[in-house]
């Protein structure tokens, strides 16, 4: 029942997967002319926020200036929010001479104003230079506010505080931004909103009546001494407040507080390990009471009524209560503006899914013409003669680069072999797509990586294997083995249980050496190659070698952030093991009972369901909607086999240091839905014993503070490719030392 409930459970919010506006690479939302920056777009750090604001204005500003109208009442930019992105955008706009107004619902730089006294801000990532001229170095919040306030005054920029935006209407070049004070006309809108101004509330009886005692942020713990304090929440902010308020003051600094931390969570899920450890230490010392699996049901008479589990409600007296249960993005405001969220499915998106699915289905069905149901309905719509002549014409063009290699008689045989032409054209297109999009993906991740070698070597490996086997099968194999046997070389590249045909369709008269070559190679890949790779490199086969995974890592890379996330999506990963078992059973049945002949219902059913739908059609059609690894993650029997082996004895893992800032970037870009951030913030290693990790290394590259690194659990003799240095890309430790 546990698995069934997980499979069909209602999708719930998780720390690693925030709901945010859907934005393009340039920061623009689905509403042309409206951009989302900073916390609203998931930008986690001060320096990155400053860079985003500056770089966006640098990108769109010159065109705005060049096409400005004479209407003095029409602003070029309205910037909503004056945090790091908003202030940097404001300064950049001034430098470009744009007409700009910045609107702030609270105080200037309010995110920093509301931080705890003495809060340190780190200038991460160190490898990224600061693009904006807004001052920022590692400092306390007080130092930052002093510098920024001085800069604001010196620059004399138009920032209007305590003015909340209520509505945005209009279209690009003619927006109307309505606030409580007036309506601004503008050509572009930059939304640089944070969540600090929208704290969640308990919404229980008595909350409003006790409003003078209820706070949503802690500025200075020294303001509270000798009080009964209730903190509601179990995230980092709540834990940090509990630590600050429950830590006994130095002698002469006042009496200690009596602090209770209450949260509905049954365990600490959201905060970092270091905060959980500090909370538990204070609890053990008797300075802090922790009530998990509890909820505040009401406030009355200076007390909070708290119910924990099945116990009777308890009344807790409090002088001050801190509701620290998170904050919310202005979802209602965004929807009213017409901005889509990253969880939204529109009619247009459904139509796109249908059209892409039809295209992918048609491509593979046409490739399979003449093979029965997999070619429906094209065998009914296209005559054999028309298909053959069209196929031959396309093939002649695509085969031109290699035609000169073959003698005329051999070339005539090739041009008469429809099956070879179909396979050649499909693998040719597949290889070209992988090379083009593989280069783009490699450059994308090289730009982000601190150590560029790993992604460089990984993509070169993927593309080399694909190109190499394309040539081996279609040119070298045909030259020396003929089209009758050359196709079997794919089995050396994609071993069983992914590629069956190594063991199928052998008949009397087949050359013994060819039979031994391919059957032996297939057995060697399955029984020696994959087990050795699993031992040394976990599931790197999926991201360094495999062609199926290669298309996902190249063409599908641009959509990797759309991979299904959360507990429910991970529960469905069991399907790969089911298909793996089915593959072994069907392989034995076909080889044993049917003497390697695939002309039987067992193989036909598997071929139609798995090889046609689950390999070729569904996952590729889903690339733009659910990322590239749907097949690899949920259905691939070889990935399941690799997972089983590396789970049993694999040594490769990813480890974390204590610098995690819970920015969600690592989990966002994981193509196989590993909740990387959950492991990172708890400094918990993950490998194939506790995740579906395929060791692509992208989570390491997108981490802005170098938290993650590869590590082998033991055996210093194992030499992993692309050892990292200060960034810790690959760290080897001998656990037995």
Predicted confidence (pLDDT) per residue in 63-120, tens digit: 999 998 889 899 999 999 999 999 999 999 999 999 999 999 999 999 899 899 999 9
| Helix, strand and coil percent figures for the chain, each rounded to 5 | 50, 15, 40
Q: How far apart are CA 504 and CA 152, in angstroms?
A: 75
pLDDT digits (tens, 9 = 90+) for 494-527: 999 999 989 999 999 999 999 999 999 999 999 9
Q: Are 646 and 538 in contact (CB under 8 A)?
A: yes
Q: What is the mean pLDDT of residues 222-238?
A: 94
Query: Token pair of 323, please?
Result: 């509701």
pLDDT digits (tens, 9 = 90+) for 442-481: 999 998 888 899 999 999 999 999 999 999 999 999 999 9
Q: How far apart are CA 661 and CA 85, in angstroms?
A: 18
Query: Token pair of 167, please?
Result: 């509505």
204 contacts: CB under 8 Å, gap ≥ 6? 296, 297, 298, 299
The pLDDT value given to residue 721: 39
Does 618 have pLDDT greater than 60? yes
Does 737 have pLDDT greater than 70? no
The pLDDT value given to residue 244: 95
Q: What is the mean pLDDT of residues 327-353?
A: 91
Judged on CB neighbours under 10 Å (0-12, 13-18, 19+), 402 is middle
Does 343 have pLDDT greater than 70? yes
Residue 330 confidence class, pLDDT cut points 50, 70, 90: confident
Q: Are 107 and 113 in contact (CB under 8 A)?
A: yes
Distance of CA 681 to the CA centre of its chain: 16
Supply angle C-alpha 384, 386, 387, rounded to 5.
65
The pLDDT value given to residue 724: 40
Give the CA radius of gyration of the chain: 30
Q: Coil, strand or helix: which one is 118? A: coil
pLDDT digits (tens, 9 = 90+) for 243-290: 999 999 987 788 999 999 999 999 998 899 999 999 999 999 999 999
Q: How far apart are CA 85 and CA 111, in angstroms?
A: 11
Provide the 10 A C-beta neighbour count for residue 571.
16
Q: Are 324 and 231 in contact (CB under 8 A)?
A: yes
Q: How far apart are CA 635 and CA 619, in angstroms?
A: 10
Q: Are 641 and 530 in contact (CB under 8 A)?
A: yes
Q: How far apart are CA 450 and CA 704, in angstroms?
A: 10
The pLDDT value given to residue 715: 42
Domains defined along the chain, listed by start? 34-191 (3.50.50.60), 211-323 (3.50.50.60), 347-730 (no CATH)
H helix or E strand, kind and range, residue 268: none
The pLDDT value given to residue 127: 80
Nearest to 639, CA basis, from 607, 663, 615? 615
Q: What percent of the chain has pLDDT over 90?
A: 82
Q: Are 574 and 693 in contact (CB under 8 A)?
A: no
Are β-strands 183-191 and 74-80 bridged in parallel, bridged antiparallel, or unpaired? parallel
The pLDDT value given to residue 714: 61
What residues pair up with 323 in beta bridges, in sequence order?
232
Q: What is the mean pLDDT of residues 670-693?
A: 95
Nearest to 217, CA basis, from 145, 320, 296? 320
H helix or E strand, kind and range, residue 86: helix 84-95
Residue with tokens 């040119």: 475
Residue with tokens 């797509």: 433
pLDDT digits (tens, 9 = 90+) for 30-58: 999 999 998 888 887 899 999 999 999 99
Q: Coil, strand or helix: which one is 228? A: strand
Q: What is the mean pLDDT of residues 703-722?
A: 68
Q: Burial letters for 707-727: b for 16+ Cβ neighbours within 10 Å, e otherwise?
A: bbbbbbbeeeeeebebebeeb
Provide the 10 A C-beta neighbour count for residue 583.
20
Query: Token pair of 693, please?
Result: 């990790």
Q: What is the mean pLDDT of residues 657-684?
A: 93
pTM over 0.85: yes
Q: Are 530 and 492 in contact (CB under 8 A)?
A: no
The pLDDT value given to residue 720: 40
Q: How far apart are CA 494 and CA 549, in angstroms?
A: 11
Looking at per-residue confidence, does 736 or 421 come out higher? 421
The pLDDT value given to residue 5: 75
Q: How far apart are CA 688 and CA 654, in angstroms?
A: 10
Lowest mean pLDDT, pick from 9-13, 233-237, 647-651: 9-13
Q: What percent of the chain has pLDDT over 70?
A: 96
99 contacts: CB under 8 Å, gap ≥ 6? 68, 72, 74, 75, 76, 77
Q: Give the DSSP per-residue string, 231-246.
A: EE--SHHHHHHHHHHH
515 contacts: CB under 8 Å, gap ≥ 6? 506
Nearest to 322, CA basis, from 268, 266, 241, 265? 241
Q: Burial letters for 26-37: b for 16+ Cβ neighbours within 10 Å, e otherwise?
A: ebbbbbebbbbb
Strands (E), 70-134: 74-80, 100-103, 120-121
pLDDT digits (tens, 9 = 90+) for 550-565: 999 999 999 999 999 9
What count of residues does the chain have? Answer: 737
Q: How far apart are CA 456 and CA 303, in angstroms?
A: 61
What residues pair up with 101 in beta bridges, in sequence order?
78
Q: Coil, strand or helix: which one is 173? A: coil
Q: How far apart are CA 393 and CA 676, in angstroms?
A: 50
Q: How far apart are CA 342 and CA 345, in angstroms?
A: 9
Judged on CB neighbours under 10 Å (0-12, 13-18, 19+), 507 is exposed
Q: How far apart are CA 633 and CA 458, in angstroms?
A: 19
Helical packing angle, 547-554 and 453-471, nearest 10°: 130
The pLDDT value given to residue 2: 65
Q: Are 557 and 628 in contact (CB under 8 A)?
A: yes
pLDDT digits (tens, 9 = 90+) for 293-324: 999 999 999 899 999 999 999 999 999 999 99
Q: What is the mean pLDDT of residues 677-691?
A: 94
Average pLDDT, the chain: 92
The pLDDT value given to residue 196: 63
280 contacts: CB under 8 Å, gap ≥ 6? 290
Residue 727 confidence class, pLDDT cut points 50, 70, 90: very low
Three-state SS string over 530-558 comes to HHHHHHHHCCCHHHHCCHHHHHHHHHHHH
367 contacts: CB under 8 Å, gap ≥ 6? 422, 425, 426
What residues pair up with 105 in beta bridges, in sequence order?
none
Does 340 have pLDDT greater than 70? yes
Q: How far apart are CA 495 and CA 587, in angstroms?
A: 13
Inter-CA distances, 251 with 228, 240, 256, 507, 606, Å: 19, 22, 10, 91, 75
Residue 9 confidence class, pLDDT cut points 50, 70, 90: confident
Q: What is the mean pLDDT of residues 590-614?
A: 95
The pLDDT value given to residue 733: 35
Q: How far apart are CA 148 and CA 360, in angstroms?
A: 54
Q: How far apart are CA 381 and CA 375, in angstroms?
A: 10
Q: How far apart are CA 430 and CA 420, in angstroms?
A: 15
pLDDT digits (tens, 9 = 90+) for 157-167: 999 999 999 99
> 416 φ, ψ to 5°?
-100, -5
What residues pair up with 28 in beta bridges, in sequence order?
35
The pLDDT value given to residue 527: 95
Q: Are 463 and 434 in contact (CB under 8 A)?
A: yes
């Amino acid at each position: 029942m546990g698995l069934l409930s997980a499979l069909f459970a209602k999708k719930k919010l998780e720390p690693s997967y925030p709901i945010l506006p859907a934005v393009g690479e340039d920061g623009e939302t689905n509403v042309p002319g409206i951009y989302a920056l900073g916390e609203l777009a998931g930008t986690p750090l001060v320096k990155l926020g400053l860079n985003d604001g500056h770089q966006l204005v640098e990108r769109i500003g010159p065109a705005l200036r060049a096409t400005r109208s004479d209407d003095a009442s029409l602003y070029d930019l309205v910037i909503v929010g004056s945090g790091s992105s908003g202030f940097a955008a404001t300064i950049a706009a001034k430098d470009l001479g744009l007409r700009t107004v910045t609107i702030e619902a609270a105080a200037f730089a309010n995110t920093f104003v509301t931080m705890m006294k003495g809060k340190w801000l780190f200038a991460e990532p160190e490898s990224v230079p600061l693009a904006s001229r807004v001052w920022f170095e590692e400092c306390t919040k007080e130092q930052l506010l002093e510098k920024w306030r001085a800069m604001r005054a010196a620059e004399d920029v138009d920032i209007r505080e305590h003015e909340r935006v209520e509505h945005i209407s209009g279209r690009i070049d003619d927006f109307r931004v309505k606030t409580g004070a007036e309506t601004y006309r503008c050509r572009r809108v930059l939304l640089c909103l944070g969540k600090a101004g929208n704290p969640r509330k308990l919404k229980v009886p008595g909350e409003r009546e006790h409003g003078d005692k209820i706070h949503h942020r802690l500025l200075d713990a020294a303001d509270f001494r000798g009080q009964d304090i209730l903190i509601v929440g179990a995230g980092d902010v709540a834990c940090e407040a509990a630590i600050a308020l429950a830590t006994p003051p130095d002698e002469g600094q006042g009496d200690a507080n009596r602090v209770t931390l209450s949260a509905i969570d049954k365990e600490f899920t959201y905060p970092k390990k270091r905060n959980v450890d500090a909370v538990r230490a204070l609890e053990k010392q008797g300075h802090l009471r922790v009530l998990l699996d509890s909820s505040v049901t009401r406030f009355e008479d200076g007390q909070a009524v708290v119910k924990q589990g099945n116990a009777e409600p308890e009344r807790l007296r409090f002088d001050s209560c801190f509701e620290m249960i998170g904050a919310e993005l202005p979802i209602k405001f965004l929807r009213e503006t017409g901005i889509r969220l990253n969880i939204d499915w529109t009619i247009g998106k459904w139509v796109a899914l249908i059209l892409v699915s039809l295209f992918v289905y048609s491509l593979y069905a046409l490739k399979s013409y003449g093979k029965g149901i997999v070619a429906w309905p094209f065998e009914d719509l296209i005559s054999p003669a028309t298909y053959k002549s069209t196929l031959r014409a396309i093939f002649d063009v695509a085969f031109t680069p290699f035609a000169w290699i073959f003698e005329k008689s051999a070339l005539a045989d090739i041009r008469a072999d429809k099956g070879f032409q179909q396979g050649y054209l499909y693998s040719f297109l597949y290889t070209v797509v992988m090379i083009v999009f593989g280069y783009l993906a490699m450059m994308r991740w090289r730009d982000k990586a601190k150590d560029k070698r790993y992604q460089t070597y990984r993509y070169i490996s993927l593309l080399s294997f694909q190109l190499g086997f394309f040539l081996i099968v279609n040119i070298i194999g045909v030259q020396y083995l003929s089209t009758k046997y050359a196709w079997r070389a794919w089995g050396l590249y994609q071993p069983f249980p992914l590629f069956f045909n190594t063991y199928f369709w052998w008949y009397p008269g087949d050359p013994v050496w060819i039979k031994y070559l391919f059957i032996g190679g297939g057995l060697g890949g399955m029984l020696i190659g994959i087990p050795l790779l699993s031992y040394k490199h976990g599931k790197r086969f999926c991201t360094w070698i495999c062609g199926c995974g290669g298309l996902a890592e190249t063409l599908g890379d641009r959509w990797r952030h759309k991979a299904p996330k959360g507990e429910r999506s991970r529960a469905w990963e069991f399907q790969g093991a089911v298909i793996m078992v089915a593959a072994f059973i069907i392989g034995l049945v076909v080889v044993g009972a049917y003497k390697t002949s695939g002309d039987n219902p067992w193989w036909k059913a598997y071929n139609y369901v798995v090889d046609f739908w689950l390999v070729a059609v569904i996952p590729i059609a889903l690339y733009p909607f659910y990322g590239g690894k749907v097949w690899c993650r949920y259905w691939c029997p070889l990935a399941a086999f690799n997972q089983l082996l590396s789970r049993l004895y694999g040594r490769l893992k990813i480890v974390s240091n204590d610098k995690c800032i819970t920015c969600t970037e690592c989990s966002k870009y994981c193509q196989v839905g590993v909740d990387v951030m959950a492991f990172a913030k708890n400094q918990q290693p993950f490998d194939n014993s506790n995740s579906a990790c395929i060791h692509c290394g992208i989570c390491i590259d997108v981490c802005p503070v170098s938290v993650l690194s590869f590590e082998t659990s033991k055996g210093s003799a194992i030499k992993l490719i692309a050892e990292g240095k200060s960034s810790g890309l690959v760290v080897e430790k001998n656990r037995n030392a």
